[in-house]
Every structure is written in C-alpha cells, then in structure tokens.
Amino acid sequence: MDANIDEKQQSNSPIQSDSLTIQYSTSDLDSPISSDEDSINLEMINVKSKGEAFCDCHKKGKEKECTCGEEDTCFEWTWDEESKSHASFIKEGDREVMFHIDYSGGTAAVRGNTKLHKDQYYWEIKMTTPVYGTDMMVGVCTTDIDLNKCRHVFCSMIGQDSDSWGLSYTGHLQHKKNKQSYSSKFGQGSIVGVHLDMWHGTLSFYKNRKPLGIAYTGLQGKILYPVVSSTAARSGMKIIRCCSFPTSLQFMCCQVLRKVIPSHLDVLTAVELPPGLKDFLKNNVQWLLQPFPSSAAGPLKSSKRTYSEEDADGAGPSKRIKYKLLKEDK
C-alpha cells in the first residue's frame, strides 16, 4: 500500500493490502495557509491516538512527562549517529530519535549501533509523539540498506527490499514490498517490543508487552541491526529496553515454562526458584516470563485501512489539511 503525496503541499496468513492513493489539491484547503501556520506547535494540537497506548498519560495530557515502562537503566546499544538519514536527529543519550523536526519531505530512518547475529535479542521502542502519516515503522535490516534512499519519497521504507523486515504502525508486516496483516495498529504511548531469535532465525513482535507471534522466519546466518523509520513531521521514538541472552538450554527451558504456565501468570511467581536464579532471570529475561492476557494478540480482520485528516505527513498532524482517498482500479 504505497501513498503518493505531493511534497510541496504536504494474522499471520498473507493478506495483500488494498492499493490506495492519497491526492492533495489546493482546492481542498479551507483557506490559504501562511508560513506561520505551517510551523504548527504540537502542544496546541489534539491529535487522536491511532492505537492502544501502554498507559493513559497521553489521554491525561501528560505525554511529555510520561516515563511509564521505562524502568531499565542499562542499554546494550543505542542509535548510530553514523547510520541515519539526514532528517533523523538523535538525542537523550542516543536513545531517542526525532524525525523531520521542521517539516517532512520524505522518509527518514536510523539504525542501531550494534550488530545482532547469534544470540537472543529483545528491545522495546516507545512511540513518544503522535503516530500518523504515510508510515512509521520498526524492524531490522542489514548494512546493505540505504537509509537515505527515500529521503524525498513518502513510503513504507522498512521491508521495501530484501535487506529489511518491518512492522508498520498500521499493523502490517512488510518484506520485499509484500505486505500482510499481523496486528492491530499502535499509536502514541505504545511500546513495540522486538524479539530476534538468531538460533531459530525468527523475528517476533510485542505490543505493550503482549506477544503478537512470529512475524518472519529464515533469518539464520544474517547480520542484522535494529532500525526504525518515519515519514511524519516531528515524530519521535525512544529505546526503553534492549538486552540479549545466549541461546542456551537455560533460555529454552524458560521458553517451555512460558508455554506451559497459563499466560496470565508470572512464571517467576508461579514456579518456586532459588532466590539467586530468580533474580538472575528477572534481570535478564523478564520480558519472556512476564504475564500477559490471553487475548493479547490477534491479526487484523481486514487489511483495509481507513485514513483520517491526521494521516498527512507534511508539517505535522494538521487538521487544516483535507484530502481525497481514491482506490485504484482493481
């Protein structure tokens, strides 16, 4: 589902999304927009969330102070200042990235600074700003991907080629330009977890710490990096957890325990373990052993997507912009 935008105006089973085109026209504007109005202050805009958040801070107007889910203090990797597109700006100890801080003219991306190739890896990305536009994505890539190739194009960048695997905020997976429904969409305040199992060669995602299931297979032997991308003006994402664990009998036992113990129970509470082992597992694989509701994940019932006014990339999620959604001839 590619969106063609005028830059000047700014399941688990394969399901192909509808082909959609967004068109802007000057006649669609209520009135001429001045340059001052183009510089929209996000604090003055009430943007409707596009998906479930981890907490209620954004609903209470406390999104700027929100630290929910940010318990970790040690991080194995951060964003790479040398591996990012021109419209990506890294801040806060290299863990937070802002995209298109003035206005958006295309797609920006940034890569992690540590290669992932043989262990179990888990990380979490928090959506710190409104989530909207053509696409905001989380995934993995190889070093062969050109992070600047879409700088003048609004697109779903991660997964456009054979060197990247992505999850869109719309809930679609993408690899080699092939899209399929996978989950419900996420929005501001959502926490997207990523589990890369290099022993089995699988990539799985979590939403607000609830497992969504295996998204990709066949990744054995590859050297991969975490990657995120966005077309949306003044959009941001933050690393709030990143850890790794050797592929071992101990880890596989933890996986089995998680499968056999009811999902609403915390494995570390349900099973009697020596205090030292319990603390060790809590510090290293709590993301795997934590409880989650049985209704956690589920693929989208439909791959059709409904757009709203706030989906325009442009200079921010402006409600002044109107557009027409046209379906291409089938």
DSSP string of 17-57, one letter each residue:
PPPEEEE--GGGSSSPPPHHHHS--GGG--PPPSSB-SSST
Q: What pLDDT does residue 52 have?
A: 85
Domain extent listing, the chain: 20-245+296-318
The residue-averaged pLDDT of 322-327 equals 35
- Identify the band that residue 40 occupies on the pLDDT scale cut at 50, 70 and 90: very low
- Identify the band that residue 49 occupies on the pLDDT scale cut at 50, 70 and 90: very low
Identity of the residue numbered 70: E
The whole model's pTM is what?
0.77
- Identify the band that residue 315 occupies on the pLDDT scale cut at 50, 70 and 90: low
**What value does the CA radius of gyration of the chain take, rounded to a whole number of Å?**
20
- Identify the band that residue 267 occupies on the pLDDT scale cut at 50, 70 and 90: very high
- Location of structure tokens 């992070």: 147
Phi-psi region of 277 (alpha: psi -120 to 50; beta: other; left: phi over 0): alpha
pLDDT in tens, 302-311: 444 444 545 5
Q: What pLDDT does residue 21 have?
A: 32
Burial of 103 (0-12, 13-18, 19+ CB in 10 A): middle
- 114 CB contacts (<8 Å, ≥6 apart)? 76, 77, 225
Identity of the residue numbered 195: H
Q: Which CATH architecture has domain 20-245+296-318?
A: Sandwich (2.60)
